[in-house]
Structure 1
Amino acid sequence: MELSNILELIHAVSDSNLTEFNLQDGNLNISMSTEKTIVQQVAASADTASFAAGYQPTVQPTLQAAAQNQKDTDRADDTQKLTGNIVKSPLVGTYYAASSPDSAPFVKVGDKVSKGQVLGIVEAMKLMNEIEAEFDGTVKEILVENEQMVEFGQPMFVIE
């Protein structure tokens, strides 16, 4: 496989909604995931040796990724300081505070909520998953912002 074809493949996968992609072509194995990490394993042969000698892929963390890592560290420290009932994300995805961009948010700080009431939505793999209150009480804090990526087990709301 030629370098131009590989680059075209990388751009096509990057522009798609795929979360993971694997390709095997003879001795060439290309794997990609949403972290935009490219892993190549090339067995030494006459065709691939010249390609491997001239092309060394590198992955460098972006400033945005570094900032997110710092936020995650800060959030982990802050989570230990939270008091009240904490509603955590049941899955990895994108958090939405409202059912549509022009709708009012499901809840705001200070709102009284009942067990089972929808607090927000987490989109995962094009499926909208409602996040429900696990407790009766008042929303003390909303720990995530609209359209923010959330991780499994990440604290999202504090209810007292």
Structure 2
Amino acid sequence: MIVLDLAEIKALMDHMAASNLTDFVYQDGQTTFKLAKKSNLPAATSSVDVRPVAATTQSKKVLKAPLVGVFYTSAAPDEPPFVKVGDVVTVGQTVGVIEAMKMMHEVKAEQAGKVTQVLIGNEQRVGFDDPLFELD
């Protein structure tokens, strides 16, 4: 189940506007979340189709980007990602790297939990507080 607030939806729209991506669809059971960029309109007019989400007793935790830059899932292209779905992370553990102003900055987990979803791809631009990982 996906639970997003308006700020997170806006962040996803901003990512689409800055990329060549024209459609994004997430499906989980009966929940469907779709973003579509209309090619003949400015990106600011992208449409959002969010269907109702049933209430959940479990609250998901989200690890967010601490700064603006390019996100890397591993220390080098030939190395495995710092974390993947199913991994358990601890507070202070490195979960990625963000390149900002030609410097590499480690992204450390501010919360502990099991990674249930990776919300960003390797070498994608991120903004401040953009969601990176979802934890249980």
TM-score surpassing 0.5?
A: yes
Match for residue 132 of structure 2?
156
Q: How does 1:91-110 map to 2 (within 5 A)?
A: 91-110=67-86
Which has the larger strand fraction?
Answer: 2
Secondary structure at the aligned position of 2:78 is classed as coil
Structure 1 residue runs of 5 or longer lacking an equivalent are 1-60
**Structure 1 stretch displaced more, 63-72 or 127-136:** 63-72
Q: In 2, distance between residues paired with 1:120 and 1:99?
A: 8
- How big is the shift at 1:91? 1.1
After superposition, the CA RMSD in angstroms is 3.6
**Structure of larger gyration radius:** 1
Match for residue 84 of structure 1?
60
Identity of aligned residues (%): 40
Work out the number of aligned pairs and report it: 98
Name the structure, 1 or 2, with higher relative contact order (CA <8 Å, separation 6+). 2
The normalised TM-score by structure 1 is: 0.51
Q: How does 1:1-160 map to 2 (within 5 A)?
A: 64=20, 70=36, 83-160=59-136
The normalised TM-score by structure 2 is: 0.59
Secondary structure at the aligned position of 1:153 is classed as coil
Change (3 A) 1:63 1:113: closer
Change (3 A) 1:74 1:90: farther
Structure 2 residue runs of 5 or longer lacking an equivalent are 1-16, 25-34, 38-42
Q: Which amino acid aligns with 1:149?
A: R
Secondary structure at the aligned position of 1:149 is classed as strand
Q: In 1, distance between residues paired with 2:81 and 2:114?
A: 15
